[in-house]
Structure formats: structure tokens, C-alpha cells
Amino acid sequence: MANIHSEAIDRLFQGILSLETVEECYNFFEDVCTVKEIVEIAQRFEVAGMLSKGESYQEISKRTGASTATISRVNKCLTYGSTGYKTVLDRVEGEEDK
């Protein structure tokens, strides 16, 4: 994957890490992103979760509305990416188990 590291992006991520509640996340992301961008990111995250559980492209597309191109891109990230999806999915699933 591309190297996107920069001081500006570090500052953005530090800002995101400072958010403490889901409501704060809504407020921040609604200011920073379009609604469409937020929905697309959420869809990709949902696709990643479904792929990690072994669901088929067809079922994922049917349930999420994601294109097979989007599903394929997410699958590529899960297989060859920086483990970002896996890290967050593992943590979210751990929180849901509590």
C-alpha cells in the first residue's frame, strides 16, 4: 500500500484518537466528511467484517449493496494490506463479547 505518512495525517489521526464517544465521532466526521463518504467507509468496514467471517461476495453484495469491485478491494486489503481492518475488527468483536 502507498506510504501516506505525514505530519498532517499524524495530526488528523491524533485528533481522531482523542474522540471519546460515538457522538463525538458523529460530530467530527459529519464536519470532516460528506455523508456519502461516511456511508462508504461504513460499508467497506461492514464488508470487511463479512469477508472475515467467510461470507460470499454474492451474499455480501446482496446484504450491503456493495459492488463486487468494492468487495474485491476490501478483500485485497484484508489479504495484502496493513492489517488495519483486522486490528479494528478484532477489537470491535472483543467489545461486543463483553
**What is the domain count for the chain?**
2
Q: What is the pLDDT of residue 59?
A: 97
Check: CB of residue 62 under 8 Å from CB of residue 55. no
pLDDT at 1 over 60: no
C-alpha cell at 79: 489479504
Using 50, 70 and 90 to split pLDDT, how confident is the model at 2? low
Are residue 72 and residue 51 in the same domain, yes or no? yes
Continuous H helices in 1-98: 7-17, 22-32, 35-52, 57-64, 68-80, 84-97
pLDDT digits (tens, 9 = 90+) for 51-97: 999 999 999 999 999 999 999 999 999 999 999 999 999 999 887 77
pLDDT at 23 over 70: yes
Are residue 55 and residue 83 in the same domain, yes or no? yes
Residue range of the domain that includes 3: 1-32
Are residue 27 and residue 49 in the same domain, yes or no? no
| Amino acid at position 10, single letter | D
pLDDT digits (tens, 9 = 90+) for 27-51: 999 999 999 999 999 999 999 999 9
Dihedral sign for Cα 74, 39, 67, 4, please. negative
C-alpha cell at 62: 446482496
Q: What is the pLDDT of residue 5?
A: 92
Closest CA to 48 of 3, 96, 93, 97: 93
